[in-house]
Chain A
Amino acid sequence: MELLFFLLFAGLAIAGAVATVWMRYVVHSAFALMGTFLGVAGLYVLLGADFLAITQILIYVGGILVLILFGIMLTPPDRTERNAKRVIGFSASLVAIALFLAVQIGSVVRWAEKSNLEAPKATAAPIGRELLRPDGYLIPFELVSVVLLVALIGSVFIARRRKAVRVDDSSTAAILAERGTLQQKAGA
């Protein structure tokens, strides 16, 4: 039964990833990516990390994917998509697989001793206690909220529509000069 679910989720994740990389249209890629996220969430459940599975669905599917879809809506369909650098891509993928396998072989002894696992327990409460314990992860937990706030403000700042100033505009110099005088007045 567990093997069946493992195969189901693994297939979903791999098929979604393949489709994400190979689909011609960006929207199709985004929806294929949803399959990968859901498959990985299922694998998290099988690995006994139920809290992380819910977090994965909430943040990836509910947040990041919606954000990506907004990004797709705000940029035009890309008809000139070329698949360049295929050789580099393939070789980089092979290197990645080799690295992962090296890690795997390096830790093969560790899996052997984990063959008798007890049934997984609910992990939300221990993780919450761990995150909010002062000598646990309380400071990183609070810092990450600052990081998120900074990212939020930064992305709004980067993506906001700038008024009037165009880089190739011949009046840019005049605008900048005017700003300079205004700032001088404000300073004085």
Chain B
Amino acid sequence: MSFFGAPVFFLAAALFALGIYGFMTRRNLIVVLMSIELMLNAANLTFLAAARGTAQANEASSYAVFVILVAAAEVAVGLALVLAVFRLKRDSDIDAARDLRG
């Protein structure tokens, strides 16, 4: 069972790094949102791996549920913003959202 310690942490680190990489390099707003989801998943995975085997394992699960719910709210608002940007600029590139008004 030793592989639940370090390997999960390494995996979560890799997921988070890939999320950051996508967040920094991709220009499409929807892919940027997906990268944020990757990072949230990595954080949740780390959290659960750290709580594994402790007395608070179930509490960690409840916290992770809250993180997932906030992620759902975030992606709903984020996609609405992408649609609003697209409607205004006819473009879903991240540089389309450069200026704040109009």
Residues of A that sit less than 8 Å from B by CB: 2-3, 6, 10, 13-14, 17-18, 20-21, 26, 29-30, 33, 36-37, 40, 43-44, 46-49, 51-52, 55-56, 59-60, 63-64, 67-68, 70-72, 74-76, 78, 80-86, 88-90, 92-94, 96-97, 100-101, 103-104, 107, 110-111, 114-115, 117, 123, 126-127, 130-131, 137, 140, 144, 147-148, 150-152, 154-159, 161, 167-168
Contacts and interface: CB of A to CB of B under 8 A. Distances in A.
Given A67-B79, A71-B82, A55 B68 contact: yes
A40 B15 CA distance: 10
B73, B81, B88: residue with the most chain A Cβ atoms closer than 10 Å: B73
The 3 closest A-B pairs by CB, nearest first: A100-B13, A89-B24, A151-B73
Contact of A89 (B1, B20, B82, B92): B20
Contacts of B20: 89, 92-93, 96
B45 to A, nearest CB: 6
A148 B8 contact: no
Interface in B1-37: 1-28, 30-31, 33-35, 37
26 contacts: A20-B22, A21-B31, A30-B34, A40-B41, A49-B60, A59-B71, A60-B71, A64-B37, A64-B72, A71-B79, A75-B82, A89-B21, A89-B22, A89-B25, A92-B23, A114-B53, A115-B1, A123-B61, A137-B62, A147-B69, A148-B72, A151-B73, A151-B74, A158-B80, A167-B102, A168-B102
A90 B69 contact: no
B27 A36 contact: no
Contacts, number: 244
Nearest to A155: B80
Q: How large is the interface on B (under 10, 10 to 19, 20 to 34, 35 or more residues)?
A: 35 or more
A56 B68 CA distance: 7
Contact of B45 (A40, A74, A89, A117): A40
A59 B66 CA distance: 12
A31 B45 CA distance: 20
A44 to B, nearest CB: 6
Interface of B: 1-28, 30-31, 33-35, 37-38, 41, 44-46, 48-50, 52-54, 57-62, 64-66, 68-77, 79-84, 86-88, 92-93, 101-102
A21 B33 contact: no
- Chain B interface main SS type: helix
A81 B27 contact: yes
A157 B12 CA distance: 35
B11 A10 contact: yes
A55 B63 CA distance: 12
Contacts of A159: 79-80, 83-84
